Structure 1
Amino acid sequence: MANEQMKPIATFLLLLNFCMYVIVLGIGAWAVNRAIDHCFIIGSELKLPAHFSPLFFPMGNAATGFFVTFALLAGVVGAASTLSGINHIRSWTAESLPSAASVATIAWSLTLLAMGFACKEIELHIRNAHLRTLEAFLIILSATQLFYIAAIHGVAAYIS
């Protein structure tokens, strides 16, 4: 590719994003496990509550279920996009760029969606420290994933 000096920056961002996506997966998995352990127990004689949601989470607020679900989705796709990114950085050719860029863009889109639910959760106020950490990681990831996409495209060559 034309812009070889972007390769170390892209490598750093790829590794940073991978580590952050793994942390998002860990915190999201904890939240799902806690929701499963502390969810509604409905017996044969009991009825569902009036505002029952299958995405009920005992911690947080009304946006928590959607937030954690999309955070897990973004984490899985983001961590998996690392495979294509590693292949692209190893070869650093125009032929490997489209697959790496497309998977990274899909991961970024899902990260933005999860970040939107994080913003809604911040607006509703009730959440614990784990959820605040997950929100922070997704907000940071939305920027670093965009920078990674720009780096693999070699944006510095077009700016200068």
Structure 2
Amino acid sequence: MASGGSKSVASILLVLNLVLYVVITVIASWAVNHGIEHSRETASRLPIPARIFPIYFPIGNMATGFFILFSLTAGVVGITTSLTGLHNLSQWNAPNLNAAAVSSFTTWAFTVLAMGFACKEIELGWTHSNLRTLEIFTIIVTATQMLCTGVIHVGVSESPSAAY
């Protein structure tokens, strides 16, 4: 009975995370495109160390480049994990639950890394409104991904064939 509850909670969290990761991927993709299109004219006015900095974005601060790239990576990995996690949960057996647990934990690690850069960007200040939205979504999805990872791990421990 408890595994049915874990399965439904994990499914809801995976769908929620799928939506959040799609939003993160779309905003981060926009920021990468904006950075590619506008960095040449903006970077030419910067002093020499910042001009040759390889990850400079014309919006935000010096942490923005890292934050955008790691958010985009976390978003793509999160979309993939959410889709495969939904498939693995539909099977609800030990090998599939273990695969879902490992991929969920990996995605959470990527998301925590992106959230760390979001916190650094917030600390440095002056960001574009789209970047603030991306920061908020990254912080929210870090918490929901952690919950999802925990629920999947509970499902693994409750699985009837968990002990090999």
The alignment status of 1:93 with 2:93, answered yes or no, reads yes
Deviating beyond 3 angstroms after TM superposition, the runs of 4 or more aligned structure 1 residues are none
Specify the alignment match of 1:120 in structure 2.
120
Q: Deviations over 1:39-92 (max 9, x none)?
A: 125xxxx9x951221211000000000000000000011101123201221111
Give the aligned residue type for 2:74.
Answer: A
Give the aligned residue type for 1:32.
Answer: V
Normalization by structure 1: what TM-score?
Answer: 0.88
- Paired with 2:73 and 2:135, the residues of 1 have a C-alpha distance of 14
- Paired with 2:58 and 2:152, the residues of 1 have a C-alpha distance of 41
The alignment status of 1:50 with 2:42, answered yes or no, reads no
Give percent identity, aligned residues only. 46
Gaps of 5+ in 2: 159-164
- Paired with 2:17 and 2:83, the residues of 1 have a C-alpha distance of 12
Is residue 108–residue 146 contact of structure 1 (8 Å, CA) maintained in 2?
Answer: yes
Give the secondary structure class of the aligned counterpart of 1:154: helix
* Number of aligned residues: 152
- Paired with 2:123 and 2:71, the residues of 1 have a C-alpha distance of 17
Q: Deviations over 1:80-116 (max 9, x none)?
A: 1123201221111112111111111111000000000
Match runs of 1:8-157 below 5 Å: 8-40=8-40, 50-51=48-49, 52=51, 53-154=53-154
Is residue 84–residue 99 contact of structure 1 (8 Å, CA) maintained in 2?
Answer: no
Is residue 89–residue 100 contact of structure 2 (8 Å, CA) maintained in 1?
Answer: no
- Paired with 2:89 and 2:129, the residues of 1 have a C-alpha distance of 36
- Paired with 2:2 and 2:61, the residues of 1 have a C-alpha distance of 49
Stretch deviating more after TM superposition (93-102 or 18-27): 93-102
Specify the alignment match of 2:161 in structure 1.
none
Give the secondary structure class of the aligned counterpart of 1:153: helix
As a proportion of its length, which structure holds more helix? 2
